[in-house]
Amino acid sequence: MGKWEYIRTGSLTLLLVCGISGCTMLKDKPATEDLSLVMAGMEGSDGVSFKGAAALLVGGKTLPESALYYGGKVADHNRISLYSLLPDEAPAASAAETGPRQLKQGSADAPVYYTQMVKENGKWTLEQTSPVLEGGNPLENLNPLRHLEELEQRQKTVTEEAGSARGTRVLRIELTPEEARSQLADELEQEMQAVRPAAPDGKGSNSSGHSKALEAKMVLWEQKRAELQQRLDKADIRTVYYLKVDPKRNLPARLTWNRTLTYPGKNGAATEETYITQVDFYDYK
Are 106 and 283 a contacting pair, CB within 8 Å? Answer: no
Distance CA 210, CA 224 (A): 21
What pLDDT does 165 receive?
Answer: 60
What pLDDT does 135 receive?
Answer: 57
What pLDDT does 97 receive?
Answer: 39
Asked whether residue 203 is domain-assigned, the answer is no
Q: Where residue 280 falls among pLDDT bands split at 50, 70, 90?
A: very high
Asked whether residue 259 is domain-assigned, the answer is yes
Model's pTM, two decimal places?
A: 0.76
- Give the residue, 229 or 7, on which the prediction is more confident: 229
What pLDDT does 136 receive?
Answer: 65
Highest-confidence range of 14-18, 93-97, 184-188, by mean pLDDT? 184-188
Number of domains observed in the structure of the chain: 1
- Give the residue, 165 or 238, on which the prediction is more confident: 238
pLDDT at 153 over 60: yes
Are 52 and 277 a contacting pair, CB within 8 Å? Answer: yes
Asked whether residue 8 is domain-assigned, the answer is no
pLDDT at 225 over 50: yes
Domain extent for 71:
18-198+208-282
What pLDDT does 113 receive?
Answer: 84
Asked whether residue 271 is domain-assigned, the answer is yes
Asked whether residue 9 is domain-assigned, the answer is no
Q: What is the DSSP string of 171-212?
A: EEEEE-HHHHHHHHHHHHHHHHHHT---PPPSTTTTSHHHHH
- Residue-wise pLDDT tens digits, 57-67: 988 888 888 88
First CA to last CA across the chain, in angstroms?
41
What pLDDT does 163 receive?
Answer: 61
Asked whether residue 48 is domain-assigned, the answer is yes
**Average pLDDT of the residues in 69-96:** 76
- Give the residue, 250 or 2, on which the prediction is more confident: 250
Q: How many helices (H) and strands (E) does the chain have?
A: 5, 11
- Residue-wise pLDDT tens digits, 19-36: 333 333 344 456 778 788
Asked whether residue 1 is domain-assigned, the answer is no
Asked whether residue 248 is domain-assigned, the answer is yes
Distance CA 136, CA 277 (A): 18
What pLDDT does 78 receive?
Answer: 87
